Chain A
Amino acid sequence: MSARRRGLIALLLFFAGTLVTFQAGRTQGFPRDEGYYFEAGELYAGWYEELLTHPSKALTRASVDRWFGYNHEHPALMKTLFGLSWRLLHRCECPRQAGRHPVAYSHPHRTLSLLSEAEAFRLPADLFAGLLVALVFLFGAQAWSTGVGLVAAVLTLAAPRMFFHAQLACFDAPVVTTWVACVWAYWRALSDRRWGWRAGVAFGLALATKHNGFFLPFVLGAHYLVVTARALRRGERFRFPVVFLWMAGLGPLIELAHWPWLWFDTVARFREYLAFHLHHVYYNMEYLGTNYNKPPFPWSYAFVMTLFTVPVTTLALGLGGAAVLLDDWRRERRGDPSFLPASPFSATCPGLLVGLNALFPLCIIAFTGAPIFGGVKHFLATLPFLALLAGVALDRLVRYSVGVLGGTVRGARMAMAGAGVLVCLPAVAETVRSHPYGLTHYNLLAGGPAGGADLGLNRQYWGYSTRGVLPWLDEHAPRHAAVYWHDTNQPILNMNVREGLLREDIGNTGLEEPGVRASSIAMVIHERHFNKYEYWIWDFFFPSGRTTKPARVLTHEGVPIVTVYERPRP
């Protein structure tokens, strides 16, 4: 296939991926961290506005600290994009929403008024999701075949956890995009030096997206060693790894340039940033019936969670793809005369690169003692590479099957198209099924969401699912109701009000025991360690102890995710 046609398909995939995540995001709850990033985005956009209007003031330390001091534990790239998108596109009623924005506005913003506020904030994440799909296609199509690329592109996004994160104005899916971009650009740079600087830019963007980017040189370095050793064995001369020079040069430069907070006290602030993640407080995560909130964490976590959350067909094909590539390697080493390289780029070992990247994110969690509280989102980068392996497996299976049946090349292409659609069906069906409670979803092996609950796997996190009880609250809550929102934080509530999803008069009684005591409606978001909040509600709402009847239970396929109580009215 010509590069032009490949590019056209990539473009279509980009639009499709963007559109699907954008559309799904309209019914997706806002999680805790997204609430912080909404606020950060608005603040960071404020700095750029000041840069345009009062550049000399904007470049002072006081101004930078005012706008970028908030949420400086993460780099600014995505938050800046969220904020700029919001600034440009949202329909503004900001002056009327005093107290629900991090900044007070006396006049409405002049914008294009194309999207709601949340849609505008989330649009960059949607675009990154589209980009991810396009990049995976290009990688698969260039390294193996168009069919491999297409199947891998669909399977990457058609996975409940990835799809969930891809809709959010957060960093966990975008960093997968920048990770894949860097891996792909690095791989291209091995055979085309012009790609070196692009790999450097992609590495910089990965660093600027989330700290996961720091791990990229390790996995790429390991791959480069193997490629170089093979080249030397073949008698080729040693080629200096220029691509790493680009990465070493552009990576830190982009990290520094994009993040004004680092422009002052750079070393101390960079240390602070690293220290935040190296000494992160341990949150809770239920795994196989045990709540983990301090080390040691189970090494099996990342593998078992992958086993139970990725659609089984994708998983089976991914393992098949790994077996295919191992078999290729074995036959090549033996000098098997029937072995033909599957890729014109086989000297650059794309299979090894994909295999390493499928395993590496899992191994970081499994073998470094890293906390597991982030759940699957901390090793989401495995998924596109698993999807590529799945594409390879399908491609090979179709070729062999058509060969056995004596089919033609055209027949093989048609068979691949049909098989591609078929193997994507379960992944798409699982993803549709999981929406909008993707974090509660478990796959066929686990027995679905109910099976996940049986197994004692984490029900959810981040307090986003309370969106499902907003219609009930709007209908039932008395005026100025004092509500205990549990893990749903104030920035989320602000956005719910700004989006017209929650009545403005409904209050928030705050955190912990005083919050429950002060409330007339209280909810518990079901996670194992959160049970005590439900017991507090019983004690404070029903002191006679005669009942434990909730007013509303929100479920996903029968599994409780939020339970709401009403204090009996006198």
Chain B
Amino acid sequence: MTATGKRWPLLLAALLLALVVIETGAAVRARSRVAGEADWQATAAAVRAEFRPGDLIVFAPAWMDPVGRSYLGDLMPIEMVARSDADRYGRIWEVSIRGARAAETAGAEREVEQDHGLVHVARWKSPPPAPVTVRYDFTAHLAEALVTQLPVDGRGDERPCFQDPRDGDAGFGCASTHVGRRTLEIDYRPRRGVLVPVDQHLVTRLEYRAVPLGGTLVGYTGLHDYYARKNADGPVDFVVFIDDETVYRGRTGNADAWKRFAIDTSRFAGAAPHRVRFEVSAPAPAWRNFGFHVEARP
């Protein structure tokens, strides 16, 4: 046996000792490696000093979002936190720890960055097409919609759902459900949109009568609430009409998360408003808490 071969126990003992030192050291120093109150106060002051309307604030890693919002949450309305995408925002404030990066800054151009203790702040110029000016936000204008229901097989009358605002927000009381503007939980993330729980074997219609259309309709669909997704997995049908013409027909299931679609509406663009109708139904309606968000963009 070689000298090294004989000494392997000593080598292992040295490795063990190194592990002991590293693990004990990491445990003892753990709390000093956490961003403290002063770091966060300085970060918040820096962002506030240059924040302007139309900016987006994001946190990385995403799990520290509540901590970040406890310092900057008053600059972050629900619409921002539960956005479908970052296309509206021209500048992005990325507040990060541990070297994390937010997905929203991929492809963006970094303008400024600074460290405040253990918190890193960077301001990014959003990549094109941002910032997008939204011509019409169907979620924001939900109160203007005419909401009705009719049997899926078409046999029966179309019945209206009545304005039923809850918690100070837009909503409609239908046969056995409530259509409303909500912060949806889609794939465990917040998404601001219209919640249309599928109501028995009925089609729920949401008609917006005077929509100023641009070049595209960009939309997202998904299924709200983990418990509903646990209890059922059937698809939901979503159809979009412009002036009674079908322009989109899609199916959304549990696995689709927040599914994006885009419709070319350039032939409808112009000064004259259009009727836009959304129809929601499902072959197996139980536990199908469907949600969507649609925007008319230039």
Contact = CB atoms under 8 A, between A and B. Distances in A.
A155 B88 CA distance: 54
Contact of B226 (A284, A317, A542, A555): A284
B78 A403 contact: no
Contacts of B263: none
Contact of A545 (B6, B65, B70, B79): B79
Interface string A425-448: 110011011000000000110001
Given A429-B23, A542-B78, A401 B9 contact: yes
A550 interface: yes
Contact of A532 (B6, B10, B185): B185
A529 interface: yes
A426 B24 contact: yes
Q: How large is the interface on B (under 10, 10 to 19, 20 to 34, 35 or more residues)?
A: 35 or more
A219 interface: no
B189 interface: yes
A430 B65 CA distance: 26
Contact of B185 (A405, A422, A531, A545): A531
Nearest to B82: A535
A92 B185 CA distance: 46
A550 B167 contact: no
Contacts, number: 158
Interface string B10-29: 10110011011011101110
Interface in B21-51: 22-24, 26-28, 30-31, 34-35
Q: How large is the interface on A (under 10, 10 to 19, 20 to 34, 35 or more residues)?
A: 35 or more
A313 B20 contact: yes
B128 interface: no
B132 to A, nearest CB: 20
A453 B63 contact: yes
Contacts of B160: none
Contacts of A400: 9
A547 B74 contact: yes
Given A397-B16, A560-B63, A404 B7 contact: yes
Contacts of B284: none
Contacts of B22: 444
A559 interface: yes
A550 B31 CA distance: 23
Contacts of A539: 78, 167, 169, 182-183
B242 to A, nearest CB: 28
Interface string A302-341: 0000000001110011001000000000000000000000
Determine the main DSSP class of B at the interface with A: helix
A93 interface: no
B12 A397 contact: yes
B77 A547 contact: yes
Contacts of B26: 444, 448
A550 B225 CA distance: 22
A558 B70 contact: no
Interface hub of A403, A443, A546 (most chain B Cβ within 10 A): A546
Contact of A528 (B17, B27, B97, B188): B188
Interface string B227-257: 0001000000000000000000000000000
Contacts of A430: 23, 27
Contacts of A444: 22-23, 26-27
Nearest to A555: B67
B110 to A, nearest CB: 23
A9 interface: no
A433 B26 CA distance: 10
B16 A317 contact: yes
A257 to B, nearest CB: 40
B23 A313 contact: yes
A558 B73 contact: no
A312 B19 contact: yes
A558 B61 contact: no
A530 B298 CA distance: 37
Given A532-B185, A535-B183, A426 B78 contact: no
12 contacts: A320-B12, A397-B9, A401-B9, A422-B17, A423-B16, A433-B30, A453-B61, A526-B63, A529-B188, A532-B185, A560-B63, A560-B67
Interface of B: 6-7, 9-10, 12-13, 16-17, 19-20, 22-24, 26-28, 30-31, 34-35, 61, 63-67, 69-70, 72-74, 76-79, 81-82, 97-98, 100, 167-169, 182-185, 188-190, 224-226, 230
The 3 closest A-B pairs by CB, nearest first: A549-B73, A543-B168, A532-B185
